[in-house]
Structure 1
Amino acid sequence: MAAGGERAKPAVQSRMENFRKVRTSEEESPLPFSDLPPDVVEMKVKEGSKIRNLMNYAMAQMELKGRRQIVFSGCGRAVTKTITCVEIMKRKLGGLHQVTKVRYKTLLEVWENQDPLPGGPAQNLTVHKNVPSICILLSRDPLDPNETGYQPPEPAAGLQAQPGEAAEDVSGSSSKGLKRPLPPPSEELLTKKLQVQGAGDPRGTGASDHQPDHHQ
């Protein structure tokens, strides 16, 4: 029995290697937000989507066409890219209210047998996968703060205070920096005395007397 089992295992693996994924589709489900306008723009982020292309289209909808709300959604490996797009838009526009919903979606993967039996129909396998999904609503208009996943806009005052703080740090460091390079009065007097003595001494200054020791 053990020998027979060992021979059957490679046979099963070889049959599975003949299958190739040919199509992936998402389960259609309504957006998890209430009171959305019927023409709301949903940015469906995919794993292979280009962030630049997504942001160009989304910014055009919000700035040129005057949209008040926009939704970013992604599932599986596209979740991280979805969050990145949202953060970029929040920095570019500012003052956006946000509601985040996390749920699961079903992916349908179709696998096709590349080596079907002679004379038999092609064998396909359909695999159902539950993957995490995220939907993020961004709105220029206020949203219900009691709704789960609500996040208020970032305070503009805090953002404007940063340049002031930086200016204060720079001014403070510059004023301190001016005090540090100034030599004490005793050093200035000592330098002047050495220069006067060196000008009257035919052998030169004390600094020149110490040059040979320095080179050695």
Structure 2
Amino acid sequence: MATDGAGAKPVPQSGMENFRKVRTSEEESPLPFPDLPPDVVEMKVKEGSKIRNLMNFAMAQMELKGRRQIVFSGCGRAVTKTITCVEIMKRKLGGLHQVTKVRYKTLLEVWENQDPLPGGPAQNLTVHKNVPSICILLSRDPLDPNQTGYQPPEPQHEPQLGDAGEDTSSSSTKGLKRPLPPPSDELLTKKFQVQVAESPRGSGTTDHQPDGHH
């Protein structure tokens, strides 16, 4: 507790000491993408959302129901999780065009006084907060490459088949920073030359490269 300027009455350190947040709502606003189909699926990512549940639903929409576009949106602390969902879907499906829009949205927080005056009504407080928000459109169909926030599809790699004919591309590409393009004779030659030129020196290990003189 602290006192006011005259030292006569004790006043609380913060006016919110007796208040508890009971509800949070997000101000509705239209998606920032033109020409979206009316039935486009918007995945609203929340701070407490489970990524596995989000991705199961989103993948079912794109693969089983054959939708061409999907939107992921999140604000505040959910922005990072929103981006994670988008990257997972891009890696799983491949060939997706992307448009990213960043803006601010208003959150409405309702706080309730846990220690109201005796005989008085319960006191509620509504707080308006502006928080960063992100909306990301993923599309199987080409999008306008000149619009702000556009990203073209990432290069794809060919799946590698194991002994049983199973697709092992997901496990074989773990740790790669980006997918590899389909191999060709010219590409393999260039890759071999780069490996020879960039072999580490003086690092305590020896990388023997075939030189063709054996």
- Structure 1 length as normaliser, TM-score? 0.72
Which stretches in structure 2 are left out of the alignment for 5+ residues? Answer: 158-178, 197-206
Give me the identity figure in percent. 83
143, 154, 160: which one pairs with 2:181? 160
Partner in structure 2 of residue 97 of structure 1: 97
Aligned ranges for residues 164-179 of structure 1 at < 5 Å?
Answer: 176=210
- Matches of 2:120 and 2:66, distance apart in 1: 57
- Matches of 1:47 and 1:143, distance apart in 2: 29
Residue 11 of structure 1: how far off its partner (Å): 2.2
Q: Which has more radius of gyration? A: 1
CA RMSD of aligned residues (A): 3.1
Residue 69 of structure 1: how far off its partner (Å): 0.1
Partner in structure 2 of residue 131 of structure 1: 131
Q: Does 1:122 align with 2:156?
A: no
- What is the CA deviation profile of residues 81-102 of structure 1, one whole-angstrom value per residue up to 9, with x for unaligned ones? 1011101111111100000000
Residue 7 of structure 1: how far off its partner (Å): 5.0
Contact 2:3/2:11 (8 A) holds in 1: no
Which residue identity does 1:147 align to in structure 2? Answer: Q
Residue 6 of structure 1: how far off its partner (Å): 7.8
Partner in structure 2 of residue 210 of structure 1: none
Residue 80 of structure 1: how far off its partner (Å): 0.6
- Between the two proteins, the alignment pairs up a number of residues equal to 178
Partner in structure 2 of residue 150 of structure 1: 150
Which residue identity does 2:85 align to in structure 1? Answer: C
Residue 148 of structure 1: how far off its partner (Å): 1.0
CA, structure 1 residues 75+113, in 2 after alignment: closer, same or farther (shift >3 Å)?
Answer: same
Structure 1's consecutive aligned runs of 4 or more residues displaced over 2 angstroms after TM superposition are 2-16, 155-165, 171-177
Partner in structure 1 of residue 48 of structure 2: 48
Residue 147 of structure 1: how far off its partner (Å): 1.0
Residue 156 of structure 1: how far off its partner (Å): 3.0
